[in-house]
Structure 1
Amino acid sequence: MSYVNLKEVLRNTKNQKFAVGAFNFNGYEDVQGIVNAASHLNAPIIVAASMSVVRYFGLKQIVGLVRGIAEAVDIPVCLHLDHSTSVDLCKEAIVAGFGSVMIDASAKSYEDNIHDTVEVVQFARKYGASVEAEIGHVGGVEDNIVVSKEDALLTNPSDAQKFYEATKVDALAVAIGTAHGFYKKEPKIDFERLQTIRNLVPCHLVLHGGTGVPDKDFKRCVDCGMSKINVGTELKKVYTDTIRNQCAVVSRQEIDPKKLTKQVKTNIEDAVMKKIITFGSDDKI
């Protein structure tokens, strides 16, 4: 039960009314902290790698790292490729051993988005991998993909229904008012739109732009049927703030790098545990 695909890790979310957190990582320490948090709370977990992290580590290296950590715990862990704009990269990740990939063709035409998604879905089925796609545009910045407020179009429920019927994707990210990165003011989430989409689309729904969303809004999203919630920017800040703080308190004569990085695991773990409890996924395996 340790290393699974996205469909498996989300399978009970709709009927039991909880969401699984997808947490982006940037190094060994935060992967370990993310999985530790889920293990402590007996929760399913998604470990997400962006395209920039793939370029930094390599696909096979990421699979080896996450699979090794996952096999040491008794919870379901899904390794997910986040926001890939490349069909080829999705295929390469699946072959390398990712349990799930996101093909993000939302910046293309509706027809091209369907075309790319179908191609990835058909390829993934041969390997038992899951596929997430996006319809509408989630605003902000994610891995150097910039969507302005003006272009952050909310998902049309009818389009979402037709998109699912054409692609049979496992999970669908929808734009309902959140944005990637830090918010300058509290986001205004269109819960009525989310509920309408939930009633029309049978696959798992995904919320991107989870950093800075109030807990009450997360819980309402889950009540409306959201199955997966992405958190990335918040963990980046925890990671970098921790390193900066450790550099200030650890002796300059210290040459053991672990003295600087060990606290990252602990602080990431604390941050992820809070989100798991908010999403209601604790004790859900």
Structure 2
Amino acid sequence: MTLVKMKDILAHAEENQYGVGAFSVANIEMVMGAIRAAEELRSPLILQIAEVRLKHSPLNIIGPAMVAAAKAATVPVAVHFDHGLTEEKIQEALEIGFSSIMYDGSHHPLEKNIAETKKMASIACEYGATVEAEIGQVGGSEDGSVDLEVLITSTEEAKRFAAETGIDALAIAIGNAHGMYKGEPNLRFDRLEEINGELDIPLVLHGGSGISGNDFRTCIRHGIRKINVATATFNTVVEMVNVQTPFKDYFSYHDSVIEAAGENVKRHMEMFQSVGRLKGDKAHV
């Protein structure tokens, strides 16, 4: 159990019909909290950071820490570069040792998205890394700076995109959105089921913060294998830390952030049905 390819984690999830949480982190405390949670619940884990977050958490600092933590873990952990926008940063993440990357060309027309994704996939292939990409447009933006409209993924375009790019996992838009939802999420399960019936690669759900346990289970039943969670973790940390202020010393604060991040990870792992899903462990559903 150590740093592994995301492709292998998702293959086991597909074989056993569960979802794997991909948890965004911003500091070493969140990394520690996520891994402790995964080890406690005997669940596979995907640690990730998005390119737009690097202004707060420089890749050359947090990246090696994520990789080192994964290598020391007692459960399988993939380290993923999420929403990669530039070749420079994708290359840097791969050099650091990230075991998977996502190139996000969803803002481009289909033809350019295919061409750019193939280029990034070729680079990742040199490192043996898993490749995720996106088609359609998930609502909002990863850092909340832009209120993007949801563009539901076309089944035919998804088939073409997967066939021409050769990617390992595909993020789709079915009404999901980054950040917290302004109302009840209205997910297009019919479109998800249709896409899943036509593709033979794991599907990815971005914008997992705020979706109900029932909706997660429906998504998993229809082919979603990787579920991204960011805002829920950040919000849980802030809420739990605010309850305990003022702190007597820094290290009490440090421990509180670890605990808060871990609690959110555990809550989502339960919903995703990944608890006890390690090879050789008895599954907990």
* TM surpasses 0.5: yes
User: 164, 167, 170: which is aligned to 2:165?
Assistant: 167
User: What does 1:44-193 align with in structure 2 at a 5 Å threshold?
Assistant: 44-144=44-144, 146-149=146-149, 152-193=150-191
**Cα gap change, 1:223/1:106 in structure 2, threshold over 3 Å: closer, same or farther?**
same
The whole-number CA distance in structure 1 between the counterparts of 2:145 and 2:113 is 16
The whole-number CA distance in structure 2 between the counterparts of 1:164 and 1:11 is 17
1:199 aligns with 2:209: no
Ranges of 4+ aligned residues in structure 1 off by more than 4 Å = none
**Cα gap change, 1:145/1:171 in structure 2, threshold over 3 Å: closer, same or farther?**
farther
1:270 aligns with 2:263: yes
Specify the code of the residue in structure 1 equivalent to 2:166.
K
Contact 1:60 1:97 in 2 (8 A): no
The whole-number CA distance in structure 1 between the counterparts of 2:146 and 2:199 is 27
Structure 2 unaligned segments of length 5 or more: list them.
Answer: 279-285
Contact 1:138 1:147 in 2 (8 A): no
Which sits farther off after the overlay, 91-100 or 112-121? 91-100
Partner of 2:212: 214
1:89 Cα offset (Å): 1.7
Partner of 1:281: 274
SS in 2 for 1:140: coil
Identity of aligned residues (%): 35
1:170 Cα offset (Å): 0.8
The whole-number CA distance in structure 2 between the counterparts of 1:220 and 1:119 is 34
Partner of 1:41: 41
Which sits farther off after the overlay, 139-148 or 192-201? 139-148
1:57 Cα offset (Å): 3.5
The whole-number CA distance in structure 2 between the counterparts of 1:282 and 1:123 is 33
Give the root-mean-square deviation of aligned CA atoms: 1.5
1:266 Cα offset (Å): 1.1
**Cα gap change, 1:233/1:187 in structure 2, threshold over 3 Å: closer, same or farther?**
same
Contact 1:139 1:146 in 2 (8 A): no
1:147 Cα offset (Å): 4.3
User: How many residues are treated as equivalent by the alignment?
Assistant: 278
Contact 1:22 1:47 in 2 (8 A): yes
The whole-number CA distance in structure 2 between the counterparts of 1:91 and 1:72 is 24
The whole-number CA distance in structure 2 between the counterparts of 1:190 and 1:196 is 10
The whole-number CA distance in structure 2 between the counterparts of 1:89 and 1:144 is 20
Contact 2:138 2:148 in 1 (8 A): no
1:59 Cα offset (Å): 2.7
SS in 2 for 1:230: strand
